[in-house]
Chains A and B, each alone.
Chain A
């Protein structure tokens, strides 16, 4: 009996201490849980990140006219999985994402990347007093965080084979660099829609050798193939004689295409340029004996309006141009 009373007394004492802790804790110590229904909720406290993200392709992944056209206005529902994904931390880091029904217009938004299943968010610091209750999560910066979507087109698999992977340089280092003022990482997430980023990825060289023109493109700056978003992206090498001053420009002549074909394009082969690799093409044409211009163009939709008469001037972006004198 005495032993039972001792145990009961101890239990009550323990509970009493617990009660004191609960009663006298600082009210602001832990913010109430908050459910997220829109990335607009993040804007108030994270204005800079929200503004950067709003300018990013992630924010436009649902309403971008290119996507809507290529997905037949999302009648091709296969595209929804990555263009309006559920929270990555719910489906699992590195696991394939799943589509959501709500807030689709926000595309790949703050909630998709940061929201945690328990109501908080993944961040770079612990701050239980903040309304969104951020928790420091190393996985937020890992390549696996991006892989659920971006390895569907093999970008992360390509990266794993590069020197960047060996050096621990992941997606974030190039696509979400730290801001100069140390205030965090850039959420604009530049990629294939940024001509500046594309320019940094490759080096174009044109030179005369053995009486011919040698054109070489090196994937010198991308930690994945160039272009990486297989199927829907394409890069092309061109050359043309430089027209005499005052004469109309010569038309571009196609040299090489870098692209991974759709599976129905059974007559095409994959020509994506791996990281650090060089593709060499030779121009063997009497017209190349004079001054020539060589160019690399980039397209985010692979097809030309008239495949027999492709017009890079109006249908593609010029990444690099090199003029070679006789």
Chain B
């Protein structure tokens, strides 16, 4: 046997050994210690000494406290200044004494209020920490409100992550008001939504009026006609939030927390990163290549939740769509942006991969993109994206119809067996969403989605949401049948605060599917 024959034998045996599982082309992703490298360049965090409440006051403390209560009960500014000077001269050792007084707010509210004011005026590291801790943990709402007020006056960028996180948990209206105010003083509009909610409070006229005044003030500052419009512009990424990039190290520490086991800590970090100024977007984009899978995936989630405020990361997201470890979330982030530029990478992802997870994610991303209203693209919000560009993008998306329809909507048994139901559902919803930009594209998939709305092996709520969205769009265009259907549909929704049983939910889904069937678009 010649050497050539032997090599040929080895080659053919190699083919046999490879079996019937040819590996598809796979992009290689190189991950790096992105977060670790970034944090290595950061100084150690400034951890302020926690001032535990002191039950026994240090010598002379009572005198200072009485002086503070007296000064802050009156309106004499000079008296307050002198008292503060005395307190500061007495030294940081007094901070735990004031913290102790704040802890007794239920018993001695006047003294607690004065103590908070002194801590706010004092404003050294320990005093700030004491105010932050009271804001985060004190059971008395007015204490938290006053702490938020005092912290806002400090305009300290290093407080931003903690103020933002408090928005997640705060339930007291006045505290939300002062949190929003504190954030706004640092150029953050993260509290605006809370302000707008407070304007609707009919149980507290002062709170509603003050919130309205602050929302109007913010709208005027940014050139918006009213608070609601400012919120829309902000959500669409049209209000720049440069922030203080000196705080990048704080952002990296938050990104590092995305790798923790405890989801609630991860949730906290995500909540803050979603609401931080624009400088975190490039950091999150870099984190998409981090060696830690959790960091990569949750960084993509943060970008998803920033919706249009993630536009600076689109290049990274477009690459990440092809990464099997995070492609689904990256696709969701592109879809959530509402920006026409997100369409191309989603279509590319759909065409490049045969992975079920990624195909579903790309289709869902495209659906979300299609039903989003076109956004203004300039930073100032003055110029609209040229319609031609948007239309050209849609032309590309029309390729989707050819790509999905014959496979996804085939009725023969073979197609149904070959293609997972959720993939066919995602494709059908995506095709239906096309009618958001060009009318009545979805009639072919309407019966299929109506059927899915009552199938236990499908996602009926997603199917119903897609059908309802299409009906609403037709209703907005003046379709009387769709308008009547929407009215019937809404009448079936459970009342606010009422949770349906499973059988009630199934009955409601079936009734809404019937309404949709009766309101099918005409081809």
CA distance A101 to B334 in the complex (A): 14
- Expressed in whole angstroms, the minimum distance between the Cβ of B115 and any Cβ of chain A is 19
Q: Which residues of A contact B9 (CB under 8 A)?
A: 12, 15-16, 19
Is A62's CB under 8 angstroms from B499's CB? no
Instruction: Fill in one digit per residue for B432-465: 1 if any A CB lies within 8 Å of its CB, else 0.
Output: 0000000000000000000000000111111000
CA distance A298 to B137 in the complex (A): 28
CA distance A77 to B271 in the complex (A): 11
B342 close to A (CB within 8 Å): no
B246 close to A (CB within 8 Å): no
Q: Which residues of B contact A152 (CB under 8 A)?
A: 262-264
Q: Which residues of B contact A266 (CB under 8 A)?
A: 137-139
- List B1-30 residues whose CB lies under 8 Å from chain A: 1, 3, 6, 9-10, 13, 16-17, 19-21
Q: Which residues of B contact A66 (CB under 8 A)?
A: 499
A236 close to B (CB within 8 Å): no
- Shortest Cβ distance from A301 into B: residue: B499
B504 close to A (CB within 8 Å): yes
Is B505's CB under 8 angstroms from A102's CB? no
CA distance A95 to B364 in the complex (A): 27
Instruction: Fill in one digit per residue for A41-75: 1 if any B CB lies within 8 Å of its CB, else 0.
Output: 00000000000000000001011111011000100
A184 close to B (CB within 8 Å): no
Q: Quick one: which of A64, A65, A81 has the most chain B CB within 10 A?
A: A65
Instruction: Fill in one digit per residue for A183-195: 1 if any B CB lies within 8 Å of its CB, else 0.
Output: 0000000000000
- Shortest Cβ distance from A41 into B: residue: B420
Instruction: Fill in one digit per residue for B262-304: 1 if any A CB lies within 8 Å of its CB, else 0.
Output: 1110110010000000000000000000000110010001001
Q: Which residues of B contact A33 (CB under 8 A)?
A: 21
CA distance A95 to B263 in the complex (A): 11
Is A102's CB under 8 angstroms from B420's CB? yes
A22 in contact with B499 given A12-B1, A101-B328, A101-B329 (CB within 8 Å) = no
A78 in contact with B16 given A15-B10, A101-B361 (CB within 8 Å) = no
Is B422's CB under 8 angstroms from A104's CB? yes
Is B261's CB under 8 angstroms from A102's CB? no
- Expressed in whole angstroms, the minimum distance between the Cβ of A93 and any Cβ of chain B is 13
- Expressed in whole angstroms, the minimum distance between the Cβ of B66 and any Cβ of chain A is 29
Which of these, A8, A18, A99, contacts B6 with CB under 8 Å?
Answer: A8
Q: Which residues of B contact A263 (CB under 8 A)?
A: 169, 264
Instruction: Fill in one digit per residue for A94-108: 1 if any B CB lies within 8 Å of its CB, else 0.
Output: 011011111111100
CA distance A64 to B459 in the complex (A): 11
Which of these, A37, A62, A63, A82, contacts B420 with CB under 8 Å?
Answer: A37
A264 close to B (CB within 8 Å): yes
A98 in contact with B297 given A77-B305, A264-B170 (CB within 8 Å) = yes
Is A15's CB under 8 angstroms from B361's CB? no
Is A105's CB under 8 angstroms from B270's CB? no
- Expressed in whole angstroms, the minimum distance between the Cβ of B321 and any Cβ of chain A is 12
A29 close to B (CB within 8 Å): no
A65 in contact with B261 given A19-B9, A35-B356 (CB within 8 Å) = no
Is B20's CB under 8 angstroms from A65's CB? no
B501 close to A (CB within 8 Å): yes
B479 close to A (CB within 8 Å): no
Instruction: Fill in one digit per residue for B357-388: 1 if any A CB lies within 8 Å of its CB, else 0.
Output: 11111001000000000000000000000000
A38 close to B (CB within 8 Å): yes
A40 close to B (CB within 8 Å): yes
Is A96's CB under 8 angstroms from B501's CB? no
- Shortest Cβ distance from A262 into B: residue: B169
CA distance A23 to B9 in the complex (A): 13
CA distance A77 to B274 in the complex (A): 13
B423 close to A (CB within 8 Å): yes
- Expressed in whole angstroms, the minimum distance between the Cβ of A92 and any Cβ of chain B is 9
CA distance A37 to B499 in the complex (A): 31
CA distance A195 to B19 in the complex (A): 51
CA distance A305 to B420 in the complex (A): 42
Q: Give the interface size bracket for A toward B.
A: 35 or more
- Expressed in whole angstroms, the minimum distance between the Cβ of A84 and any Cβ of chain B is 10
Is A63's CB under 8 angstroms from B461's CB? yes
- Expressed in whole angstroms, the minimum distance between the Cβ of B388 and any Cβ of chain A is 32
Is B13's CB under 8 angstroms from A105's CB? no
Q: Which residues of A contact B423 (CB under 8 A)?
A: 37, 102
Instruction: Fill in one digit per residue for B411-429: 1 if any A CB lies within 8 Å of its CB, else 0.
Output: 0000000001111000000
CA distance A38 to B422 in the complex (A): 9
- Expressed in whole angstroms, the minimum distance between the Cβ of A83 and any Cβ of chain B is 12
Is A77's CB under 8 angstroms from B301's CB? yes
- Expressed in whole angstroms, the minimum distance between the Cβ of B193 and any Cβ of chain A is 14
- Shortest Cβ distance from B9 into A: residue: A15
A102 in contact with B263 given A65-B502, A264-B169, A301-B499 (CB within 8 Å) = no
B500 close to A (CB within 8 Å): yes
CA distance A106 to B360 in the complex (A): 14
Q: Which residues of A contact B171 (CB under 8 A)?
A: 264
Q: Which residues of B contact A23 (CB under 8 A)?
A: 16
A32 close to B (CB within 8 Å): yes
- Shortest Cβ distance from A76 into B: residue: B267
CA distance A183 to B288 in the complex (A): 46
A40 in contact with B457 given A15-B9, A22-B17 (CB within 8 Å) = yes
B331 close to A (CB within 8 Å): yes
Is B499's CB under 8 angstroms from A65's CB? yes
A105 in contact with B356 given A12-B1, A65-B499, A263-B169 (CB within 8 Å) = no
Which of these, A64, A96, A103, A305, contacts B263 with CB under 8 Å?
Answer: A96
Is B16's CB under 8 angstroms from A22's CB? yes
Is A37's CB under 8 angstroms from B356's CB? yes
CA distance A160 to B489 in the complex (A): 49
B339 close to A (CB within 8 Å): no
CA distance A164 to B462 in the complex (A): 42
A267 close to B (CB within 8 Å): yes
Q: Which residues of B contact A19 (CB under 8 A)?
A: 9, 13, 16
New contact pairs (15) apart from A18-B13, A69-B499, CB-CB < 8 Å: A16-B9, A37-B422, A63-B461, A63-B505, A65-B504, A68-B461, A96-B294, A100-B328, A101-B357, A101-B358, A102-B422, A103-B360, A105-B460, A266-B138, A301-B499
Task: List the 7 closest A-B pairs by CB distance, nearest first.
Answer: A101-B328, A101-B361, A105-B459, A37-B420, A264-B169, A102-B360, A267-B139
Q: Can you give 14 A-B contacts (C-beta < 8 A)?
A: A16-B9, A22-B13, A35-B356, A40-B421, A40-B457, A65-B500, A65-B505, A77-B301, A91-B293, A96-B266, A101-B357, A102-B422, A104-B459, A301-B499
